[in-house]
A and B are shown apart, each in its own frame.
Chain A
Amino acid sequence: MSQNINVALIGNPNTGKTSVFNQLTGLNQQVGNYPGITVEKKLGFCKLPNNFKANILDLPGTYSLNASSIDENVVIELLLNKNDKLFPDVAVVVTDVENLKRNLLLFTQIKDLEIPTILVINMTDRMKAKGISLDIPYLEEQLKTKIVLVSTRKGVGIEELKNTIVDYKNLSTEPCLNASSIDRAYFDKLQQAFPNQLLYKLWLVITQDVYFLNLERKEIPSEFTKSHSELKRLQQKETIKRYQFINDTLKIGQKIDTANATDLRAKLDKILTHKIFGYAIFFGILLLIFQSIFDWSSVPMEFIDSTFANLANYTKNHLPAGEFTNLLSEGIIPGIGGIVIFIPQIAFLFLFISVLEESGYMSRVVFLMDKIMRRYGLSGKSVVPLISGTACAIPAIMSARNIENWKERLITMLVTPFITCSARLPVYAILIALIIPEKRILGVFSLQGVTLMILYLLGFGMAIFSAFLLNKYLKLKTKSYFVVEMPTYKLPLFKNVAINVVEKTKSFVFGAGKIILALSVILWFLGSHGPAKGFDNAESLVIKKVKAENRLDDLEYLNDQISSHKLENSYIGIIGKSIEPVIRPLGYDWKIGIAVVSSFAAREVFVGTLATIYSVGSHGDEERTIKNRMAAEVHADGRKVFNFATGVSLLLFYAFAMQCISTLAIVKKETNSWKWPLVQLIFMSGFAYLTALLAYQLLK
């Protein structure tokens, strides 16, 4: 019979914990969220010897059990809750052989919880280059644990780790040091009051700042609570005590022969944080990222585009005609296509970000940019969200979580949606093609390309400018502090990068995808149905009209006339007409109005909506046909609908408006209030309306 055990992987960031996870589980993992919060929950499965099976939980990286963020809080909540169905039978603490001293701090805390614990010392392939040797038996004895030497890079030690996990019942659950000696009297009294509770657990409950196990804290009588500064003094004493133990243990158990050490760190740091080369290299990398998003992605994107167009066409022609076929070919297939088309860009972006983070370079960028960003109320760590924002604001806003200072983090989250995300690209692309001539400036730069670039700079400029304003006027009392670990440079592991890109892309596609798909179905319904009057007898009405024009032979013309008549009388047409007074000053007619309104769920819907509205069938080369249709649209008085003024007004509106429900939802989750997403919605969209109004009125 097989036996199921729970294994929790715990460790500092940058110890290769996730590599160990990937080695153990392969692709047999599922990524979700912890209920109610957006912290990623990575659970994997692994077959072990002797018919054992393990659920392996990759907990968020943490430096200690004193949580200072929701990610870290997840770790403590699990480790203190014996009733959790993932409560570990065995904890595996992953450490980096080059950073044992600091990594062991967390280990000693885990040991105090009296959970069977295995110590994995990772990156042992670097021991030789760094001149490190370890006395394993001595360390095992002092730390009261089993040690497994692992090199995920070379695939060494994983089998041994599996065997050690199976043998978990023989692991010691004894703490390796007595931390309560820092205040004997206090801890004795505490233990007397709660004889059945683990002392360290009580201490953790007393000291945590973060939203924490309310129920347990209430049970602790007030005589045991201490003032903030008193607690902190004790925590410092505790930390010193732990470090003393670790330093003493490593003095005997670890030998470092620096004569053998080659220092790549010093050499690379000298170049990468250099006052000229450092910035030059960073901007070079940024250019490369943008190149990949705009240029390299276009090939697979065009392929996806035409594939879905063909599929829709095929479905329409080969399935029996009817509501269901229409739903499929006009609603669902284009809807899915609208999501899938973003995969190349998103994947490229995550590829770059994951390589930059895995290699250790990202911390150097944070280091270089911090002072500059701070001028605008941001942090060096805001660089990652701002770059990610060029693909999608949702993962970008989540990546702001490692900014310690709340004000800087909040400002980062608030301004990130100004960055031109990939959903704006198709909108920009079609509008630019419509209103900017295909000319070259100085014979080199394409005018259309320059316009696109200006729009990107505009988004970035607005982000920085509003950050500056928010910093000035937002009165928030926060403790300002900043610390970033500067990890060792490493060649990124292919497997880690690949899994990361796949997982992140998947969660984007399924997260944002649901909304886009649902919306395209709703849009299709609203566009193809209407109140009986004027809608149901559209055909006879139009035929009558076309007969009068004497063009009944022109079948295409007839069909177009029928569908546009239907659209005008459909639910969506009615909605569009009713909002027309509001958007007319911006130069939009009711059809554009519908596209703008539906874009409030997700911007990329704009092109699709216009495609539906102009009843353009999917003729393969879809964009051109939509574009031609749009170019041919005229107002009743014969003026072009998509003239220069309207085009600029639309571009500005899309550059600034907050048109993404998913982003609002994620900001609500991350800030824990509706206040900030509402501020974003009102401020951004109000600003967009004003600039679009101004632009149209000046240019028309």
Chain B
Amino acid sequence: MITTVDVLPIGTKAVITEVDLEKIPLKLLEMGCLPGNDLEILHIAPLGDPIYLNVNNGSFLAIRKESAHEIKVEIL
């Protein structure tokens, strides 16, 4: 199923299928948010935002919902 990262519940594992290059900064790509890489939702902050991810098996990041919305994934 194709969806975006901002709607995934904690514990979901998925593969990135597409990243909106206009809205996602290069730095995020370099930290591993690239099509083809795996990601896992580890935590969501108490107020629902930001989202804490494990990207590409070992790159641990937190991003805001609005960025997460620009990352399309396929749930595994």
Contacts and interface: CB of A to CB of B under 8 A. Distances in A.
A322 B30 CA distance: 67
In the complex, which of the residues B25, B45, B47, B59 has the most CB atoms of chain A within 10 Å of its own CB atom? B45
Given A269-B43, A273-B45, A63 B61 contact: no
A66 B25 CA distance: 11
A371 B60 contact: no
Contact of A236 (B34, B50, B57): B34
A153 B56 CA distance: 27
A99 interface: yes
B60 A486 contact: yes
Contacts of A232: 21-22, 26
Contacts, number: 123
Contacts of B60: 265, 485-488
A63 B21 contact: no
Nearest to B46: A275
Interface string A617-638: 0000000000000000000000
12 contacts: A100-B58, A101-B59, A102-B56, A232-B22, A239-B34, A243-B32, A269-B43, A371-B47, A480-B64, A481-B25, A486-B61, A486-B62
A36 B61 CA distance: 32
Interface string B34-65: 11110000110111111010001111111110
Given A269-B42, A367-B62, A482-B63, 15 more contacts: A63-B27, A98-B58, A101-B32, A102-B31, A239-B26, A239-B29, A239-B30, A266-B42, A366-B62, A480-B66, A481-B25, A483-B28, A483-B31, A484-B61, A486-B60
B61 A233 contact: no
In order of increasing CB-CB distance, the 3 nearest A-B pairs are A275-B46, A371-B47, A486-B60
Contacts of B42: 266, 269
Interface residues of A, number: 45
Contacts of B58: 98-102
Contacts of A63: 27, 30-31
B19 interface: yes
Interface string B60-74: 111110110000000
Contact of A101 (B21, B35, B50, B57): B57
Nearest to A232: B21
A523 to B, nearest CB: 48
Interface extent on B, as a size class?
Answer: 35 or more
A367 B35 CA distance: 25
Interface of A: 63-64, 66, 68, 98-102, 105, 229, 232-233, 235-236, 239-240, 243, 265-266, 269, 273-275, 278-279, 363, 366-368, 370-372, 380, 404, 479-488
Contacts of A487: 60
Contact of B43 (A243, A273, A481): A273
Given A236-B29, A243-B37, A481-B28, A486 B52 contact: yes
A240 B34 contact: yes
A481 B56 CA distance: 20
A243 B32 CA distance: 8
Contacts of B50: 367, 370-371, 380, 482, 484
B45 A368 contact: yes
A363 B62 contact: yes
B7 to A, nearest CB: 17
Given A239-B34, A240-B36, A370 B29 contact: no
B52 to A, nearest CB: 6
A318 B56 CA distance: 71
A102 B28 CA distance: 11
Given A240-B35, A481-B28, A229 B21 contact: yes
A209 to B, nearest CB: 9
Contacts of A278: 46
A481 B64 contact: yes
A580 B19 CA distance: 64
A329 B58 CA distance: 60
A372 B47 contact: yes
B31 to A, nearest CB: 6
A107 to B, nearest CB: 13
A105 B55 CA distance: 14
Contacts of B34: 236, 239-240, 243
Contacts of B30: 63-64, 66, 105, 239
A15 to B, nearest CB: 13
Contacts of A481: 24-25, 28, 64, 66-67
B67 A483 contact: yes
